[in-house]
A and B are shown apart, each in its own frame.
With several copies, the nearest count.
Chain A
Amino acid sequence: MSKLIFEKGACGRNGISLPEMDVPFQGVGGLIPKNLLRKELPLPELSEPEVVRHYTNLSKLNFSVDGNFYPLGSCTMKYNPKINEELAALPGFTQLHPYQGEESVQGALELMYNLEKNLSEIVGMERMTLQPAAGAHGELTGILMLRAFFKDKGESRKKIIIPDASHGTNPASAVLGGFEIVEVATDNSGGIDIEALKKVMNEEAACLMLTNPSTLGLFEENILEVSSIVHKAGGLLYGDGANLNALLGKARFGDMGFDLVHLNLHKTFAAPHGGGGPGGGPLGVKKQLIPYLPVPLVDRQGGRFFLNYDLPGSIGRMRSFYGNFLVMLKAYVYILSLGEEGLRKAAENAVLNANYLRAKLKDYYELPYKKICLHEVIFSGSRQKAKGVRTLDIAKRLIDFGMHPPTIYFPLNVPEALMIEPTETETKETLDYFIEIMKRIAGEAEENPQLLHQAPHNAPVGRLDEAKAAREIDVAWQASG
């Protein structure tokens, strides 16, 4: 592996040129009490060319959507349009301070206002907060809102029902909101177990947190019944909208009975994932929950946009300022680029691509749910497991062919899960290549399991020892070595 930045550089080198002090300056000592002064600043010293070469070469060790097929399930690794990046770099957007007077940021506020309108329309909600910085943050926002909602109603509902196939953030967020988790199973067809739900959906349960389409890539076919069970018991239906990509222009959370739903702008709306973030996790709600939305909202009075802090029932603030504005901007540009027609086409192609993979690979890998899927298809590596090859081995082997592995071992209710989400921006040619390689790997699992156990063979590093990493913890370089 390449040297660390701390092992480079030399004493006295500079990576930046700063202006000279152009005002009278008596020195740090004259302005800051001695005991507050820093003695050592153990940072490296590098030249600009050195830093550029270091990070340029680091970047080359990464797989990315621009360079590789990246069918990471549940992550919707679609192409991130360059025009979105270009427009998000306009100084008129990047060089705005959040506390500027509203009259000097009307363009930014208008954009947020429009985005909220458009997203609300797409998912069929009444209003939306753009504040949450990611999906999980949107979840927590929703959880805190429904807690406030039930508090106002004088109901003390302490539980939240979550299917076993759900994403880990769902239970984690619910717990942070002060709730206990009740898990419900997935039935044989991949839907929520209705009978189990009926048993737990009572006056103690505040809500069902449902991912739709589910993390199995399936539409919750009994959604109307589910919704009515939840609502009849006085609960709310929370939607995890991370998989909205499959439903764009096809169906809306609002119409299915969801009371609140969060989206992931960094998935469905083509904002880049940035190697982990920043993202955007707006939360949309039906009318009865509007009073609880975090402040501020962007509202309009005549032709003027303003930040509305006047929400007495609000849960307060979920973060500083107004959210990840540049991420919102990219989502907005994306919606304008595609229009309704384009959004619908995106959903269609995403679903088509997943089903194509399903059809072409189902003879080679175990398909736990034998039906048409939506944006992603879940296989199980159970057949290969029987030969001593784990899903992890299959995943690592894909790297040798320049393709990023799918999500693995999730959802938890599928053993040896391989969760494949090709997205709509990939071509049939790319899928065909993936299929060819997946078939080849299935063959290798039979004939040469060793090859898979030792994969990857062509990556910048071989199989990394995660156990060692957790055992001999080293999470920061130390000068001594």
Chain B
Amino acid sequence: MDYSGNTPLQQKKMLAEIGLRSLDELFQSIPEGVKLKSSLNLPKQLSEIELVRELKDLADKNKSTSDYSLFLGGGYYDHFVPSALKYLIGRPEFYTAYTPYQAEASQGILQAIYEYQTFITLLTGMEVSNASLYDGATALAEAAFMAVRINKRNTILAAQTLHPEYLAVLKTYLAGLDLTLRVIPHNEGKVDLKELKNYLNKDVSAVILPQPNFFGIFEEGEKTASLARKNGSLCIASVDPISLGIISPPGKWGADIVVGEGQALGSGLNFGGPGLGFIACRMEFMRKIPGRLAGKTRDERGKTGYVLTLQTREQHIRREKATSNICSNHALSALAAAIYLSLLGKNGLRKTAELCLGKAHYLSEKIAEIPGYELKFQKPFFKEFVISSPHPVSKINRKLLENKIIGGLDLERFYPVFKNCMLLAVTEKRTKEEIDKLVKVLKSL
């Protein structure tokens, strides 16, 4: 099935109009030396019936949350995706369109992006959001670049309690521009503010703080931001959008740029992608923000409409002077986020956050009651927490999997010192029954 439109007869007619005799002649500009002569080593073409079977077989080799109870987090969470959302982002008017370069033919996606941008500002307490970035990690890297563009300093301080993969991405990105990355150590699961003070100096462009952090623990946002401000540095917050249903928004506690992974806002798990990178900032930094921005305007008759605006920041106009190289972004995931927040609304988001909070704490308490297990850090947390256990995490997870449970993250993978430590996440989707079953399996070990 090649989906091509022209029949052999039409091809003939068209070639005649072009003045050629064969399809081969169309490719005459390709030098003989590089023309592909042999055939490619590709799998055999499949009909749709066969394709369905083939992919179903692959899918069946995976253990998905539709059959397993998932307690994994670490930056990606099993939050509920409303059915209405799936249907709406499935409208081909949205998903088979390109970036809305031609505004008059793209008002649907443009207004939706404008709404998305507004949602992000409302959620984060910031004034400007762009139209989306790839994911939370690259959004963070873009924020770091942005800070450097703003204050022309060359060092980024990042909390050690950041997602380890975000730290890794930061490192890769910053290396490109010869910027310095310094990691502020944590103390019992939380940034050590005394250490932070030591790291601050006139080269520091920005301080990056996760809220809550990789261990699920709340950081001292206000103090951190204030320390940064006093040093003439910016404060970049990396947040969990669901937590913002109950937690004070970074705009309130002094962050200058806010980024995060928006996968929780209606994108689902997808084995890690696509998710959604969001970035928002204060008004004064608007012209430094990377990526696309939808803005409101009017047509000749005075009717309201939306366009991509401030494109002079972008690569297709400014080329090497652009604020970023990003071109395609995650518009459809942004649309999903807008729809998600529309459906949940004020009450739904708050209740979702509360369910996560309540259930996570219930699980943490139940586990802490099991002899040999304990909560690694005794600090307030949101929906994720670290337990230390008497057994290797791999052993626990094997046992859990047998019981149709996908257990937590083995922290040793990222922090060799955290032996037998597991990061567990609980979302609104988990039931008491599932939680109790997990506890029961742990007890049985």
Contact = CB atoms under 8 A, between A and B. Distances in A.
Contact of B328 (A255, A277, A353): A277
B122 interface: yes
Contacts of A345: 2, 4
Given A140-B325, A476-B117, 15 more contacts: A14-B345, A35-B248, A44-B345, A55-B335, A98-B273, A133-B138, A144-B175, A176-B177, A249-B36, A274-B97, A318-B169, A353-B6, A425-B3, A462-B301, A475-B294
B56 A90 contact: yes
A480 interface: no
B246 interface: yes
Contacts of A32: 218, 246-247, 357, 380, 382
Contacts of B45: 17, 336-342
21 contacts: A12-B9, A38-B246, A43-B345, A44-B346, A70-B98, A78-B3, A80-B96, A121-B40, A137-B138, A168-B314, A174-B320, A176-B177, A278-B329, A281-B328, A319-B135, A337-B51, A339-B43, A339-B44, A374-B29, A396-B104, A469-B307
Given A118-B42, A255-B36, A319 B406 contact: no
Interface in B231-258: 244-249
Contacts of B359: 21, 23
A279 interface: yes
Contact of B84 (A5, A52, A276, A325): A52
Contact of B86 (A86, A252, A473): A86
A182 B207 CA distance: 34
A277 B246 CA distance: 30
A402 B221 CA distance: 49
A67 B63 contact: no
Given A45-B345, A133-B134, A17 B1 contact: yes
B5 A405 contact: no
Given A97-B72, A110-B61, A326 B346 contact: no
B370 interface: no
Interface in B36-66: 36, 39-52, 54-66
Contacts of A463: 104, 299-300
B109 to A, nearest CB: 4
B5 A427 contact: yes
A24 B315 contact: no
B59 A107 contact: yes
Contacts of A348: 23, 26
Contacts of B321: 175
Interface centre among A181, A319, A324, A360 (most CB of B within 10 A): A319
B187 interface: no
Interface string A44-88: 111111111011101111111111101010010111111101110
B92 interface: yes
Given A15-B343, A464-B299, A275 B98 contact: yes
Nearest to A460: B107
Nearest to B115: A5
Contact of B61 (A39, A80, A107, A250): A107
B71 to A, nearest CB: 10
Interface string B1-42: 111111111110111011110010111111101111001111
B428 interface: yes
B319 A23 contact: no
A121 to B, nearest CB: 5
A323 interface: yes
Given A81-B3, A169-B315, A465 B297 contact: yes
Interface in A396-417: 396, 399, 404-405, 407, 410
Nearest to B59: A92
Given A38-B246, A250-B35, A98 B272 contact: yes
A147 B298 CA distance: 46
Interface stretch (B150-158, B188-196, B263-271): B263-271
A136 B133 CA distance: 12
A470 B309 contact: yes
Interface stretch (A193-201, A216-224, A383-391): A216-224
A475 B128 contact: yes
B47 A49 contact: no
Contacts of A349: 2, 4-6, 11
Contacts of B33: 224
Interface in B66-115: 66, 68, 70, 72, 74-76, 78, 80, 82-84, 86-88, 90-109, 111-115
Given A137-B138, A355-B26, A464 B3 contact: no
A90 B432 CA distance: 26
B315 A79 contact: no
Interface in B290-341: 292-301, 303-307, 309-310, 312, 314-322, 324-333, 335, 338-339, 341
Contacts of A221: 29, 31
A41 B346 contact: yes
Contacts of B305: 1, 460-461, 464
A82 B86 contact: yes
Interface centre among B113, B135, B431 (most CB of A within 10 A): B135
B222 A35 contact: yes
A147 B177 CA distance: 11
A118 to B, nearest CB: 6
A466 interface: yes
A470 B134 CA distance: 25
Given A178-B176, A319-B135, A338 B2 contact: yes
B397 interface: yes
Chain B interface size, as a band, is 35 or more
B285 interface: no
Interface centre among B9, B97, B111, B286 (most CB of A within 10 A): B97
Interface in B410-445: 428, 431-432, 435
Interface in A109-125: 110-111, 114, 118, 121-122
Given A93-B271, A169-B327, A43 B94 contact: no
B386 interface: no
A5 B271 contact: no
A459 B92 contact: no
A67 B325 contact: no
A56 B87 CA distance: 10
A104 B48 contact: no
A234 interface: no
Contact of B98 (A72, A168, A294, A396): A72
Interface string A127-151: 0000001111101100110010000
Interface string B111-135: 1111101110111000111011011
B100 to A, nearest CB: 7
B186 interface: no
B148 to A, nearest CB: 11
B290 to A, nearest CB: 10
A9 B222 CA distance: 34
B409 interface: yes
A352 interface: yes
Given A78-B3, A425-B5, A134 B328 contact: yes
B92 A340 contact: no
A58 B44 contact: no
A352 to B, nearest CB: 6
A168 B326 CA distance: 10
A141 to B, nearest CB: 9
Interface centre among B58, B325, B352 (most CB of A within 10 A): B325
Contacts of A75: 98
B345 A2 contact: no
A317 B137 contact: yes
Given A59-B91, A464-B307, A428 B5 contact: yes
